[in-house]
Amino acid sequence: MKKNVLLKKLTVALVAGLLSVGVLSGCSNKETKSIQTEKETNVIATHDDNLHKDKVTAGEAEKAIIEGNKRFVSGKLANKDLSSEVRKDLSKNGQHPFAVVLTCSDSRVAPELVFDQGLGDLFVIRDAGNVVDAIETGSVEYAVEHLNVPLVVVLGHEKCGAVQATIEGGEATPDIEVMINKIKPSLDKIKVENKDAKQEEIASMVEDENAKETVNELLKSSAIKHLVDSGKLKVVAAKYHLESGEVEFLK
């Protein structure tokens, strides 16, 4: 009899324990789902659809990338909606980027990260030395004419290998030689104007001058210049600082 009573007590205790675990587990799952839902809501809420409207201005686009770079520098990045819904929308309705970024292929310079932007926000063109020929210029023309992008940023950067190769000279493959010849006029100009400068100073100034010269090359395109002259497009030079993460707009 005592054994039966004890067995019943143990059974009741065991069942009660299992029910308690189940309830706690259910609460935990609900809490987790609640947190996930909250995060998903925050991600969607931070997406600025105004930057993808038909008539976004160069000023609005420039403000967005400046604020994005500030977030990148501070480490307080915006949440981004990278969900399948966004990918489906971009596939179905096409792209509407608000800025073109023409920059170097250097692995340390990633425009979507540097400007803290998401899918469909930036139209990015990259090559070693952020120089332009017909292909790069045509790519910019496509973005500003057919996608109505109001802002083009030519983004140079510190410690550019292409600039360093131009300064050092020496043998190069025919294709690399083409790139070097694009940068060399900037080097020659800086050397003439700064005869007593050290090589490191020369390199920094050439990086700036090369970005500005790329802007000048883009403005030789009648399609691009027409949009600039009509006030529909702004083309600017900038420089990315590797350690600080800051983007400096060049004058």
Indicate the annotated binding residues for Zn(2+). Answer: 104, 106, 157, 160
Note the Cα 179 to chain centre separation in Å. 24
Strand order in the sheet with 99-103: 122-126, 99-103, 151-157, 234-240, 247-249
Length of the chain: 251
Contact in structure between 68 and 26 (CB atoms under 8 Å): no
Please list the alpha-helical segments (H only) found in the chain: 2-45, 58-74, 84-93, 111-114, 134-146, 161-168, 174-193, 199-218, 222-229
The whole-angstrom separation of Cα 86 and Cα 79 is: 14
Q: Which residues are annotated binding-site positions? A: 104, 106, 157, 160
The radius of gyration of the chain from alpha carbons, rounded to an integer in Å, stands at 27
The whole-angstrom separation of Cα 158 and Cα 250 is: 13
